[in-house]
Amino acid sequence: MQSVKDILYRSHNETWFLQSNLKLIELCTSKIDELIGSKPDFKEEDDEYMISGCMVAAKLGLTICNLMKHKDYDLTNYCEVLTGLSILSDMIPMNKTVRNVMSLAMIAFNVLEHPGLRALMTLSGFRYGSDITTNFLSFILIPKINATGRMNKVDLGMKLLLDRVDTSDNNKDSLLLANELINCNRSRKTLEDIILNEAFDLTCQIYRTDTSDELPSAIVVHKSSWATGVIGIVAARLTDIFKVPVICLTGEDVLHGSGRAPEGYDLYAGLEQCKDLLIQFGGHKVAGGLSLNKDKLTEFRNKLSEVYASQKDVKYVVHVDATATIKDIKAYKPSTNSLSSGQVLHCAYTAKKAKLVVKERMDFMTWRPCLFHISE
C-alpha cells in the first residue's frame, strides 16, 4: 500500500495547497499513515480493511485542522456525518472500528445543523422530533444523494453536501436543491427499470433460462448504451432474482462494468481467477468493478461460469429470523394501534377497517402524516 503522502504528491502536486504547505503536508500525511497504517497488505480480519475513502479524507482533513490549531466542532460533526453516510451507502462488514465510527456519526447526525441535509430529510418525509435511524438514511436519504452520481449530475450532490450555510429566506435555496436531488432519483429509478428489463431479457437469451430448469453458475451481460452509474444496481437486482454472481457491462471497444454476488460467494476471488482477461478489477466479496476489451467478452463470460461451476461448496445463504406456519401468521395480533403492520390479514376485514389499514400503510411508507383523505 502506498502512503497517503505518495498519493497526494502523485495526484495533486500542482495544487496551490501543496506548493504553499509542503511542511504541513509532510506532518499530516505521516500522521494519517500512523492512523490508518502503511502496511503493504491489509488482511480481512484487520479493522481498517474496509474503511471508506471518505473516512480517510475526513481523517486527513481533521488532522490538518488539528496541526493548524484550528478547532471547529461543527466541522468535526460534519466529517463524522459524511463518514457515516459513506459507510451506510456501501456494502461493507461492520467490524469494531467501522461500528464505532458509525455510532459517532449517528450522534453527530442528530445535532448537525446542515441546511442541505435537513432540507433533503424534510422533503423525504422525516418527522422532526423522532430519532434519525440507519434505515431511514440507508433506504430513503442516501439513494437520493447517490442518484446524482449515477445520473452524471454529481455537482448537485456535491453542492448540497458542501454548502454548510444557506442565507436565503426559509432555506429556500436548500429546499430547491434538495428537490432537484429527489427528481434526479426518480429519473434514476425509471432508467434502472428500463435497463433491468433489457438485462433480464439478455440473460434469458444468452443462458436460455426461459427454457432450461438449470440456472447458470454466473451471469455476464452487456449493452453499449447502458448508463455506467446504474448498472451496479441492476446487477444487484439480477443477483436477487437468479441467486448467482452477476456482472453488467457497458461501453463500445473497452467495456466497463459492475458486479454483485449473493452472500456465500466471493466475487473478488472469481474476478481474480479471470484477471488474465481483464484490464483491471477491484472490489470485495459481494461487489466489484472491472474493465476489459470487448473481444474478450465471450471468453470472460465462459471462464467466470466455469470458475463458479467448479466451486461445489458454494451455497447461496438465506438468513431466517424465525419459522412460522400459515396458522401462526393468521393468528398474529399486533401489539401497536395498527390493525396490521404486515401484508397478511388475520381475518376478513370490513371496508371501513380496510380503508384504515390503507391509510396507515400510506403513512408508514411516506414517513410523514398522511396527506390523503379517504372518505367514509
Structural domain ending residue among the three candidates 68, 97, 112: 112
d(CA 342, CA 331): 13
Structural domain contains residue 255: yes
Indicate the number of domains in the chain: 3
Q: Is 149 part of a structural domain of the chain?
A: no
What digits encode the pLDDT tens for the residues 37-61?
555 455 666 656 667 778 888 887 8
Pairing of strands 280-283, 287-293: antiparallel
Task: Give the global pTM.
Answer: 0.70
**pLDDT band at 222, cuts 50/70/90?**
very high
For residues 82-100, give the mean pLDDT. Answer: 82
Q: Is residue 63 part of a domain?
A: yes
Q: Indicate whether 2 pLDDT > 50.
A: no
- What are the start-end ranges of the H helices in the chain? 4-12, 16-20, 22-36, 53-67, 73-88, 96-111, 115-123, 134-136, 142-150, 154-162, 172-207, 231-242, 267-272, 297-309, 326-330, 351-366
Residue with cell 390493525: 339
Q: Are residues 3 and 87 in the same domain?
A: yes
Kindly indicate the confidence band of residue 370, based on its pLDDT and cuts at 50, 70 and 90. very low
Report the pLDDT value the prediction gives residue 41, as an integer from 0 to 100: 58
Residue 293 lies in a domain: yes
CATH code of residue 294: 3.10.310.30
28 in a structural domain = yes
Q: Are residues 19 and 108 in the same domain?
A: yes
349 in the same domain as 254: no
Domain end, chosen from 112, 136, 165, is at: 112
pLDDT score at 9: 40
Q: Residue range 217-229: average pLDDT? A: 95
One domain for residues 230 and 264: yes
80 and 20 in one domain?
A: yes
Grid cell in block for residue 141:
436519504
Three-class DSSP category at 128? strand
Q: Which of 112, 133, 154 is the last residue of a domain?
A: 112
Is pLDDT above 90 for 128?
no
The Cα–Cα gap between 338 and 346 comes to 13
How much is the mean pLDDT over the chain?
79
Do 221 and 281 fall into the same domain?
yes
Residues 304 and 337 in one domain: no
Measured distance CA(278)–CA(303) in Å, rounded? 12
344 and 271 in a common domain: no
Look at residue 291 in the predicted model and tell me its pLDDT.
96
Based on the fold, state whether residues 351 and 277 are members of the same structural domain.
no
Going 68 to 74 to 76 to 82, the CA torsion angle's sign is negative
Where are the alpha helices (H) located in 217-343, listed in sequence order?
A: 231-242, 267-272, 297-309, 326-330
pLDDT at 333: 66
Domain carrying residue 354: 326-366
CB of 63 within 8 A of CB of 26?
A: no
